[in-house]
Structure 1
Amino acid sequence: MTGLPASGPVLDAHLLVDRGAFRLDVPLRIGAGEVVALLGPNGAGKTTALRALAGLQPLTAGHVTLAGNDLDRPDRRLWTHTERRPIGVVFQDYLLFPHLSALDNVAFGPRRHGADRRTARRLAAGWLARVGLAEHARRRPRQLSGGQAQRVALARALAVDPVLLLLDEPLAALDARTRLDTRAELHRHLTAHPGATLLVTHDPLDALVLADRLVIIEDGRIVQEGDAATITARPRTDYVARLVGLNLYRGTAAGHAVQLGSGFALTAADALHGDAFVAFPPSAVALHLQRPDGSPRNTWQATVTGLQRHGDNLRVQLAGPIGVAADVTPAAAADLRLAPGQAVWAAVKAAETRAYPADAGPAPAEAQTR
């Protein structure tokens, strides 16, 4: 690939977009060979960010600089047309041309970039071979499975030798089995891509498997970013806690005690002072019909508000001085005869909690888990 900077980020952008009452304000830098996942709830601004990078959504302010070249700078009235940006895009629904074969779908990009028909088709054939679809070159999109269509879309995006690859929920349209296989295949191709990659997704597993770094946005702003280990160890918002499957609370720490806004206090393994988060997994919550003898430091009465299957266990939602989710085995649930409205005792050992300093920002109102 040509055009990559010798040093510094491939993508250096500050995306500022005003859309009525909504404002996107996201700085974003991605290095060569790096895959960054952009996550957030519906309406957070993920699609707006992707469209702004692709040139489909004008910036209100800020800039998009790719491989040292300015593509979008409203203050200088500079804007580069979508087709002239060295960017490949894989859309959620793939948007393959239904009247073209897989080969000609992939050849479309090189043709638009000036390659003659024979050269474009040769490039396309090479990319179809790379994604394992050489024998499907003559098929049209309606003759392809979902996983095959996704690979054609990826080949089409990579065939233009993009400096930046944008993936918009690339696995969302696939069934569970196809998704598993295609995710592994996609990981292989992203690892080989020398340019920058931005993966827009709502699925934490896609992000954790495919990305080197996670950027999480809510209400148009970054609320947390870092590698998977950092994000999963120290979530900072309810949304992030749900992604990584933790109960999360915010309060004021004085030593090992963290006083929550509800007036309830949790004892944590870590000693802190000041604004703090406390987190623990649903598996750390033990349920009892009677107050347990020799109980852990964190014990309280709760009411079962819901039960649902969660993998091999049952996820039990509890109301009380704090909302909490607990995971129990089906056998334990049967022994406890758990049902909505039932009163139970919940207990969490201090050693199973994590406490860490909180940055300024909105406190989670209730514990929430994925």
Structure 2
Amino acid sequence: MTTDVTVRGAGPRVGAPLLDAHLVVDRGSFRLDLPLTVNPGEVVALLGPNGAGKTTALRALAGLLPLSAGHLTLAGRDLDHPGRRLWSPPERRPIGVVFQDYLLFPHLTALDNVAFGPRRQGLHRRAARERAADWLDRMGLGEQARRRPRQLSGGQAQRVALARALAVEPALLLLDEPLAALDARTRLDTRAQLQHHLAAHPGATLLVTHDPLDALVLADRLVIVEHGRVVQEGDAAVITAQPRTDYVARLVGLNLYRGHATGHAVTLPGGFELTTGDPHGGDVFVAFPPSAVALHPDRPDGSPRNTWPATIGGVQRHGDNLRVQLTGPIEVAADVTPLAAAQLRLAPGRPVWAAVKATETRAYPAAPPPDRREPSDGDTHA
């Protein structure tokens, strides 16, 4: 994946965690069980499919949902600890939130929207407005201070919402899909601006998103949740190089299989065998990009060690190429150029041969499969 914006992933910054939490929330048959730490100045992205528990985690941190068990400690202060019958309401938590739809007060100007939080903290009206004006200047919005939300562009509204969240000087900044409401062009520019402001924030930041590019660009560390539990955690380099679930593999654009390795041979469930470049023993993952899959009208001659008959399941545009979904002994995605697709006359139902060189694959040890729990209807937000 490429971007014009520098990808983060420098890792956590030195020091004790500012946020130290174990979020356990029961919602019907769904349970969120999420250990989570964020260091001062660190940006952590929480990713997962719909129903994974991201929204539940955000609401628990913000104080909109009480914990069923576990604890939530921020800047050395216990905010939620069921075992001690301790819970702090949202307005008493040193937390700033940027909501997906921004939720700016429509009847207030940009200046008064930003000043609202400091006023609630007890700051005098004049001092609160001076702080708000300073934050709008930092966001490049000084000239928009007297405008109401309906008079702002999407990118401007997002920056006002960010200024409002930061004006309360939060120990923890929560970003709920902060770029989702923007069009592609505005999103690119606003992402770069957001990256700059997050780098200057001394507190902890948690970014909840379903967009891998937002996570890779903005976050130092990624936490992947599925079915209410962490399935993978690490910086961008680790996550993209060694995905451990189908969801993560799709997120970073790789084909992923789990099997049992004996030397260079990896046997997958069902008996299909892949040959890899590096020898292993025991349970492993095998990953390779769609671009590594070559398609042929007939069985190819030559060097590919992994060759099998397949059937075209679907063809979709993917950037400048076409993404071809293949069925057969294994399901696989392949990227081909439009010229190659025309020469092969690719269409659903057409038989082809697929080939992947062993040197194009990556094999690495597999952890035990995660404990899978089905989400309830009460946690279906991304």
Q: What does the per-residue CA deviation read over 1:216-244, in whole Å, with 9 as the maximum and x for residues that have no partner?
A: 00000000000000000000000000000
Query: Contact 1:295/1:347 (CA < 8 Å) preserved in 2?
Result: no
Mapped to 2, the partners of 1:86 and 1:294 lie a distance apart of: 64
Between 1 and 2, higher relative CO (CA 8 Å, sep ≥ 6) is seen in 2
Structure 2 partner of 1:99: 107
Amino acid at match of 1:92: Q
| 8 Å Cα contact 1:103/1:138 also seen in 2 | yes
Match of 1:283 among 278, 291, 312: 291
Q: Residues 1-370 of structure 1: matches in 2 within 5 Å?
A: 7-361=15-369
List alignment gaps of at least 5 residues for structure 2.
1-13, 373-382
Cα distance in 2 for residues equivalent to 1:52 and 1:122: 32
C-alpha contact (below 8 Å) 1:250/1:363 kept by paired residues? no
Q: Deviations for 1:96-127, whole angstroms, at most 9, x for unmatched residues?
A: 00000000000000000000110010000000
Post-superposition offset of 1:7? 3.9
Give the secondary structure class of the aligned counterpart of 2:195: helix
Percent identity, please: 80
SS at match of 1:340: coil
What is the TM-score with the length of structure 1 in the denominator?
A: 0.96
State the secondary structure of the residue aligned to 2:299: coil
Asked if structure 1 preserves the Cα contact closer than 8 Å seen for 2:231 and 2:370, the reply is: no
> Aligned equivalents of 2:165 and 2:148: distance in 1?
17
Mapped to 2, the partners of 1:15 and 1:233 lie a distance apart of 28
Check conservation: 1:315, 1:327, Cα contact below 8 A.
yes
CA distance change for structure 1 residues 96 and 363 in 2, over 3 Å: closer, same or farther? closer
Aligned residues: 359
In 2, the alpha carbon distance for the partners of 1:148 and 1:309 equals 32
CA contact (8 A) 2:73 2:79 kept: yes
Residue type at the aligned position of 2:215: A
Say whether the 8 Å CA contact 1:262–1:322 is kept in structure 2: no
TM-score between the two structures when normalised by the length of structure 2: 0.93
Structure 1 residue 263: deviation in Å? 1.2
1:368 is aligned to: none
Task: Answer whether contact 1:237 1:363 (CA < 8 A) is retained.
Answer: no
In 1, Cα distance between the equivalents of 2:341 and 2:139? 46
